[in-house]
Each structure stands twice: as C-alpha cells, then as structure tokens.
Amino acid sequence: MRVLFVTVLLSTIAAVGGKAASFDELAEKAAAARRANQIPEAIAFYRQAVELRALWAEGWWFLGTLSYASFQYADCQDAFDKFVKLDDKRPLAWTLLGLCEFETGAYDRALDHLRRGLAGEDLAPDVEPVARFHYGLLLSRAGNFDQGRRELERYARGAAREPMLVEGLGLNALHERWLPNEIPAERRALIEKAGIATSHWILGETDRAESGFQELLQEYPTAAGVHYLYGFYLSSTRPGQAMAELRRELELDPANADAAAMLALLLMHTEDTAKALRLAEAAATEQPSDALAEYACGEVLAETGDARTAIAYLEAAERLDPAVLQYRMALAGAYSQTGRYEDARRERKLSMEMAARAHAGD
Amino acid sequence: MNGGRRAGRQSCGAAVLCVACAIGVRGAAPHAKKATCATCHPAQARPQPATGMGIGMELPPDQRLLREHPKLTLEANGYRYRIESAHGKSTYTVSDGSGELTLPVRYAFGVQSETFVLEYGGRFYESLVSYYHPLKGLGITLGDEGLRPRSLVEAIGRQTSDQEIAACFDCHGTGGVKQGKLALDSLQPGVTCEHCHAGAGKHMQAIAAGKAAAFPRKLGTMAAEEMSNFCGQCHRTWETVVSLGLFGEKNVRFQPYRLANSRCFLGDDRRIRCTACHDPHTELVRDDASYDRACLSCHDLKGAAPVGAGAATPKACPAGDRDCVSCHMPKVRMPAGQAIFTDHQIRVVHAGDPYPN
C-alpha cells in the first residue's frame, strides 16, 4: 500500500505543470516537505532528485535519515551507502548505515560501519546508546566478547525492563555468538538467567548476583560457559574458588581459551608459574585471535623473567583489543625490562591518558 | 629460582626470626645459640626490626605513639574525634554532640604517623582521622578528605573491602593473611625477613639443622623495573596507581609509580632501582647529600658513565654536583600539611611548574 501511494505521488509530482520537474524544483519541494514533516512526500522528492543528480550528497543524506525514521531499513542502507561514498567524514552517517545493515542482516558490514561511526565524535545523544548496544551485540557475535561486554554493560541498568538487553548480556556472558533473535528456543531460559545474574553483577548487587549464579549452576551444571562465567565473577574476590570453577569449565569445554587464560593468570599469582605457562601457551595457540589468551601468555612469560618473548604476546593482545588498559600497561613493563625505553614511555603515556579518561569525574 | 615481579613474598605462618633448634652443622654444642637470620646475616637482620618497615604497626600494649600522646582530639565534618590511651589500651571515640561511639584501637598502622584500623559490626574501617607527625596531632586521613559522613558509623572512617584490609595487614605485618584471607591470630607486626625473602624461614631451619638448604632468591639480581614491581607490592606499583586513577599530588607517596615516570628510569638498569638509594634493612637516611653518589653513578660530570643501549647520554647538571635531590626530587607537602614526601619523579623542576602526573 505504501509503495502504491508513493508511486502515485511520484507520478503526480512529476506531472506538475505537464513537464518534468527540474532538479532545483525537486530539491526545493523535498526540503519543504521535510520541514512540514510530510515524510513520504519528502522521500519521494528526494528519490527523484538524486536520480537526476547522483552526486548530491545532501539528497542521499536526507533520503537516508527519513527512510530510517520510517523504518525503511533497506532504503536507508542504500541511501547512506551512497552518501558515505561522497562524504566519508560524518560519524552519524556511518552509524545509521550500520544500524540499517543490522536490520537487513548485513552483520559483518554493520559491525565495521558502527565501529567507524562510534569512533567519531558528537554522535547525537539519542543515537549513541542505540548504536553502542547494537555494536555490543555484533562484537559478541564476532567473538570479541571483552569488547562486547564493555559496550553492553553500560546498559545493565535497563536490563530489568528490556528483554533484549538481558539476552544481549546473557549471550555475551556465556560467549555465545548469536544475536537475540537467533537464540534457539531450548537455550533461551539459560541465556536469560545468565543475563539477569550478570546485570546484577555489573550493578554491584552482589547478593542478587550470587543467588543468580547459584541458580544458574544448579539448573545448568554442565552447560558450556556457566562455570567460566561464575569463575570470572569470583576471580577478583575469591581466587581459590574461581580456579575450581575454571577447572570445571575446562573439563566440560577444553577449548574455552578465556577460561584457560584466566586460570593461568590466577595460577601465576599462586606462583605455580610452570602450570600457568603451559595453560597460557595452550590457550594462545588454540585461539591466537583471543586477546585475553595472548595477554595471559605474555604476563606469565614476563613473570617468569622472559620479558623478551612476552612482548610479542602482549603486542598481539594490545592489537586485538587496544581499549584494555591492562594489556597496554603490561606491554609498557615488558618494554621497560628489555631496554626499549622509548616504547615503554609511549605506552605509559597512552596508558595514563586512557586511565585519566576512564576516571574523569571520579 | 626464576625471577619474577612477585617473587620473594609468600604468606607464611612461620615468619619468625628465632628458631628453637640446635645448630647441628658440626655437632651440637651443649649450649648452642638459637639460630636467627642475624646469625649469618647480621648486617641486614640486626638493624631491620627497628626500622619503620620492621615495625610496620603497633599492637596493644606496645602502642608507643599513642602512649606518648595519651589524648588526641580533632573536630572535623561536624564530628568530634578523641583518641585516648591509658594502661596499655587505646580507644577511638567519635561523637556528634548527641551521641558517641567508642571503639578499641587494636591496630595502629605506621610508625611516625599512624592510621588506625577499627572494627565495628563485623567490618573493618580505616579511621577517618590519623596521627600525623608533622602536625603533632590528628588530621584527616590522606585520601579521605572528600568523605562527608552522615552518621556516627560513617564518621568512624572508610569501610574497607575484604581484599583491601587483607592487603593492609599483609603489608604492615607478617603472617596475618593466608591465601588472601585474614588470619589475625598469627599476625606479627612489621615486615620480617620472610616477607621479602620468601623461603628464608625454611632456609634458616635447614642450615641450623645441618641440612642442605634451598636459598631464597637473591633480590640483588633485580633491575629497576622488576624491583619497582617488587617493592610496589606494598608501595604501589606503577600499574596499580594508573589503573586506580590515583592522579594528583596525593600520588607522590607512591614512590615506585613516581620513579617509573622519571625520564631517567631505565627498566633494565640497576643504578635507578630502589636499592640504588635505599637499604631496606636500615632506617631511611634523611641526609639528601648522601644520595649524590647514586645520581652521579649515571650523571658523572666526566661523562664516562655508560648506560643501557638505546638510552640517551645522561647530562651533567649545569647548576651543581651535590645535593642533587634538593632540586631534582622536590619535597611535596600534602594540602592539609599532614605529611611531606620526597617526589621520586626525578626531573628538572622549574618554578611554577604544575605537579606532573
């Protein structure tokens, strides 16, 4: 019905005065319709105008934003795809392109484009949270769980009211590479429980988090990721118990590189460095694209005195996830130990800048 | 034993200086002396217990500082604080005019200046007021200046997490923390040999029994970066300070962090490590000129001092060749005057320069 309406409208507009409208006329009419909040008319005029002048960036811009507002994601995607080829400096364009691609299922492109958009400044305050949430979902889908968690945990407070948020947190927490609409029915309850417990954890509601995790363990004692999640939760406060949980996870899922990496780091603190190194090396070999595994290997090597070998692993960790302060600081320390003073100073300077940004407003 | 940032410190319930066993190396003598670390290492082990680190904290009835100042008071944030000592016991009282709360002072952390750890309702609190030597009295505890208590309980001080309080006891005492949990029944005040020299107790027992002994790691093999992390386990590493965002003048008290920010901090060089200037077995030397030797080990006016590969040639100071620290490691007084620290971020200081983070 909408298509028919637009076609009739286009025909009517084109026939105005019995002659084809000029570009300038169409552009003026499009702007007027937009300002009058006549969205379908505006879309129609902009579409005609860009057919006459394909290099008119503003036309593609408004076609994109109006299509997005009308939930016409395929059209929005097409319009912003054209726009960014003409002007690639607008973060909002990349962001909206990414969001439309999310809706049309072009997930890999969506991830790249949201990353690009979010790297810019001054995104509209009503767009950024939506963008970051979808970016977090896509990062998790791509296996970048640490980065995904950092995006999603901003919205933990809203999880109580929004099922998609709960699902997003749960998927990330259990390292499942699905989007919420892809969760198999038989896994949904587990994902939701994990998401709720994780949201309590993020919000510092320790009693609720603890009881949430206990429920999860009781109901799903052999589900992949559950013991890892609880071990992660315990790692900074109850390391002994955390190690037991991580060991259990590795019994159930020997390929869980993050569990191996985390266990290696905990063992390092108990000075069982030989075992820690074996675990860390195995994790990094198994999953060279896993930043935590690379970091764990680097840290344990540095701890055993082999800072030179550690550097390669720590550089890999930083490259894979440059937003993690810990990786950068560890790399600075390894550079310092091996006489690479300027490299150490550079990393320390960057680390301090990162930390200052993170703690701004404390 | 491999090197490592955290090597050298184990939680240990056997961190004792005296071992009640005969020396059996060449046959036990009828009245053999009891072996201690000082038996073989007198230069280090004899003076160490009397140092600030060796004392670490004061437990009743040996709370000397509170005995010497039996009544300390302060009014702050609408509350009145009173620390009183008599007959070997001390109490910490906070009142708001209509009510008051009095708690025993069991743990006094520090030596010349002291912060008190109090217990209430099953939790530990860092006292909101501390004794500061420069003030000769009480002041708000460093780091707690922003606290605005709304009740007597809050006015006690800052409630600490389990991890934090374990770290406090682990640095100011020995044997009071086991596997990350408090074990205060076995707490000994102060940093003992075992604290830094992990395995020292077993080593000593083995030697005393005439057996082959494993040797604790020689900490003298550490270069600057490694030692900075080692000492930083208590004095705060560079990583700890940065990850906690402890920026501003109050981080002057975290010497490993400040030193690592120095332009001349070469992580693989021993001449800039903590022990290049400080002997942890003896009391802190406060004669600034005595540190010149360490500075000149690199900044030799004759220009003959080699440094690590890749480092810039150290310059000789155009202004002088003595009392280096008086210019290049300025003293920083805390805003409320509670303490004065030597800034370990070695640098050329210009009048009016802001405090470098």
Q: What is the pLDDT of residues A175-196, one digit of tens each?
A: 999 999 999 999 999 999 999 9
Q: What is the pLDDT of residue B321?
A: 80
Count of structural domains, chain A: 2
Residue B224: its chain A contacts at CB < 8 A? Answer: 336
Q: What is the pLDDT of residue B320?
A: 82
Closest CB to B266 among A302, A341, A358 = A341
A289 and A220 both lie in a single domain: no
Q: What is the pLDDT of residue B312?
A: 65
Percentage of residues in chain A having pLDDT higher than 70 = 94
Q: Show the tokens assigned to A274.
A: 């030989």
The enclosing domain of A329 has a CATH number of 1.25.40.10
Nearest to A326 by CA among A301, A360, A350, A290: A350
CB contact A341 to B (< 8 Å)? yes
Residue A26 lies in a domain: no
Q: Show the tokens assigned to A321.
A: 């996830």
Residue A329 lies in a domain: yes
Q: What is the pLDDT of residues B155-166, one digit of tens each?
A: 999 999 888 999
- B22: phi then psi, degrees, rounded to nearest 5: -75, 155
pLDDT bucket at B26, cuts 50 / 70 / 90: very low
Closest CB to A304 among B4, B265, B357 = B4
SS3 call for B137: strand
pLDDT bucket at B338, cuts 50 / 70 / 90: confident
Give how far the C-alpha of residue B258 lies from the chain's centroid of Cα atoms, to the nearest Å: 15
- Highest mean pLDDT range out of A43-47, B8-12, B301-305? A43-47
CB contact A361 to B (< 8 Å)? no
A307 and A213 both lie in a single domain: no
| pTM, two decimal places | 0.82
Residue A298 lies in a domain: yes
Q: What is the DSSP string of B149-209?
A: --SHHHHHEEE--HHHHHHHHHHHEESSEETTEE-GGG-EES--HHHHSTTHHHHHHHHHT
The domain of A192 spans 143-176+187-253
Determine contact, residues A93/A115, Cβ cutoff 8 Å. Answer: no
Percentage of residues in chain A having pLDDT higher than 90 = 79
pLDDT bucket at A171, cuts 50 / 70 / 90: very high
Shortest distance between the Cα of A358 and any Cα of chain B, in A, equals 8
DSSP alpha helix (H) spans, chain A: 2-14, 23-35, 39-52, 57-69, 73-86, 91-104, 107-118, 128-141, 145-152, 163-173, 185-202, 206-219, 226-234, 239-252, 257-269, 273-286, 291-303, 307-320, 325-337, 341-358
Give me the interface pTM, i.e. the ipTM. Answer: 0.84
Closest CB to B245 among A335, A338, A359 = A359
Q: What is the pLDDT of residue A102?
A: 97
Q: Span B299-317, mean pLDDT? A: 65
Q: Is the dihedral of CA A327, A332, A337, A343 positive or negative?
A: positive
Q: What is the pLDDT of residues A202-216, one digit of tens each?
A: 998 989 999 999 999
A167 and A219 both lie in a single domain: yes
Residue A258 lies in a domain: no
Q: What is the pLDDT of residue B208?
A: 86
- Report CA Rg, chain A: 25
Q: What is the pLDDT of residues B244-281, one digit of tens each?
A: 999 999 899 999 999 999 999 999 999 999 999 999 99
Q: What is the pLDDT of residue B32?
A: 52
Nearest CA in chain B to A343: B310
Contact B265 A240 (CB under 8 A): no
- Rounded to the nearest 10 degrees, the angle between the axes of helix A185-202 and helix A226-234 is 0
pLDDT bucket at A86, cuts 50 / 70 / 90: very high
Q: What is the pLDDT of residues B91-106, one digit of tens each?
A: 999 999 999 999 999 9
Q: What is the pLDDT of residue B214?
A: 85
